[in-house]
Structure 1
Amino acid sequence: MVSFFGLKRYDVELSPPVKGRITDNGEPVVGAEVVRELFYAGYDKKNALFDSSTTNDNGEFEFDEKIIKSRAPGDIFGQNSMVFQDIYIEKKTEKLSDEDKYYWLWCTRKSWPSEDQLNKLMLHLEADLQNKEIQHEVDLSKNGGRSDQPIISLCYFKDESIKSYYKSKVVENYNELK
């Protein structure tokens, strides 16, 4: 009865556990602040949740899983609310436009149910600051998800279900970007 009136609360995974490593020309980036910004309109319509992690001597960082309770997935107006997941490092220069302000380790907008394939990628965010920013499209259709889930990242993912693009051109081999 309770769920009939939209009072049921659902677990919404804003972020799975995250692990990664940041390098610059192959050398670990030590002491960098990595920011995770999460937003879900079914939780708070105005404010994102922020937390940060500092890279260790090997350039590694991690974040814990973040799950919230929300009624939105059962609401006719909220069931399609997207989860915004952004993980980035702020660039340390003053001569940048707003769109070039960050090194994007992970930037996506996804549906609220957890996606195992995306969760696995987020456990291996290996990025070099000299990498080109790539648009990846992950095929999640085997598990009922989208066939073209977009992710923007400096990480060069290697997986058959991922197509990568740089400046609208398909990337066959990441070495061609250097």
Structure 2
Amino acid sequence: MSPYTPFLQYLQLFRDIPLADQELLTQSLRHRSLPENEVLVRPGQVCQEMYFIVRGVLRIMAPHENGSEATCFFLKENQLCTILASFLHQVPATEGIQTACPAELLVLPHAGLYQLYAQLSYLQPLIDLITQRTLLDKIQVRNQYLGESAAARYQKFLLHQPDIALRVSLRDVASYLGITQQSLSRIRRQLASE
């Protein structure tokens, strides 16, 4: 199986992609295997790539004024990931992207994607639809945690994102849930003793 097959299969969930167009798409993609904690985009850098996650988890993080960083979102297999405003408008990103565990990605460079848009009239509306759905899903997931105690947020995280919980560091989970790593450890001990 080609390393590009997952991406093509994913796109075909939304519409049929002719074989000639599949060939054009694969010519624009690059395959990358990365270790955990590999930074793909730093805050302040212009995002030049869109990623399709074949395997692994990416985290979108934002820096705090005190020098620490907060995990905003996790994205996993069969999702597109980029810092959208930076990628679309070619302006410095306010967030960054990092691997939260070892990952296998397909990379669409900005220039290559826009060349594809010019060649395949249906591709930009399709990618726009997919990115809109991803944004709505991310907002819906994050909204589940609003107004909840730290313990309730962690329990909801385990319930709704167990596959991510098993693969990312406790530091990243704590950051995502807006609690300290020590608090998360205490919550985990309390849940284990119940």
Normalised TM-score (structure 2):
0.24
Q: Per residue, is there more helix in 1 or in 2?
A: 2
